[in-house]
Structure 1
């Protein structure tokens, strides 16, 4: 694991343009094997715990929505494609051919693609946040920090999402609410 990952959680971190994140005590990059003996875990750690765990829980919430969107849009798309098929059969029986059926078919396929797009969005979010969460959890294990994170996410009828996140760490409970 990169030593800079340890430093990102430390309240003693500093930075400069030449070296990036450095220790404010030594003015050098971190010099340790497994864990830093000078690390001060406090405010920055709690911020990272909220940020990464909040994104992780939000991504898990997005999974349900992505699956529902995919199913709904796929169903609508299949119905539109069937409509195009039905119209083309009726027109061919009467000796006509219309490009309208091709247009309807393309619309049906586009609707299915919208549903698949929501699954792709979820997958991309998951591919980003899961490695970050694994690194954070590995670091908290290295420094023997036990925490729990609870998140309640709801969306109202107007599409406004409200999250209530609770972090339990070192006997302290920190709660943050957000609406967006």
Structure 2
């Protein structure tokens, strides 16, 4: 966010004044925020709010796919008992076909379980990252007495991406 940043492939991003990695635990008198400040504040707050907004859907998705997976495993168990009773009276090719069907059912149950936990883990990772990013941004801005008022509204449309309307007001406090 600072105009005094530089970067190269060996070090990454560093301060062009000190030639060291930025350290925001220490106040810098020469910091000069550039036009990316508004963009960064907006991006981080949109990601944070979108993650908060997704919570109920992710947990619903998790519960639905978990129930479907458990139902598939229960169905496979019952189907296996049913087929075993029928095949105990016969032998030959039907045993191979029944075993293949049971394996397919188990695979479907595992895939459904993967969907359930995949969505939950993605949400938890995104939530943690977005929360940390927001806290880091707020801490940096607080260090330099910069406050902002961020308003966001989501306009949902059926079968269309969500329109996001934001309003940002940045204020530098010189009282300190």
- TM-score, normalisation: structure 1: 0.72
Distance in 1, matches of 2:129 and 2:51, equals 10
SS at match of 1:161: strand
Give the CA deviation at 1:121.
Answer: 0.9
1:74 aligns to 2:75 (yes or no): no
Distance in 2, matches of 1:159 and 1:130, equals 27
Residue deviations 1:98-147 (CA, integer Å, cap 9, x gap): 21123212211211211110011112222322222221111111112222
Give the CA deviation at 1:55.
Answer: 1.5
Distance in 1, matches of 2:163 and 2:24, equals 41
Count how many residue pairs are aligned between Structure 1 and Structure 2: 159
Q: 33, 47, 56: which is aligned to 1:55?
A: 47
- TM-score, normalisation: structure 2: 0.73
Return 5+ residue gaps in structure 2 as ranges: 89-94
Structure 1 match to 2:136:
135
Return 5+ residue gaps in structure 1 as ranges: 1-8, 172-180
Comparing both chains, which one has the higher relative contact order based on Cα–Cα distances under 8 Å and sequence gaps of 6 or more?
A: 2
Distance in 1, matches of 2:155 and 2:66, equals 25
Structure 2 match to 1:15:
6
Across the aligned residues of Structure 1 and Structure 2, the Cα RMSD in angstroms comes to 2.9
Q: Which structure: larger Rg? A: 2
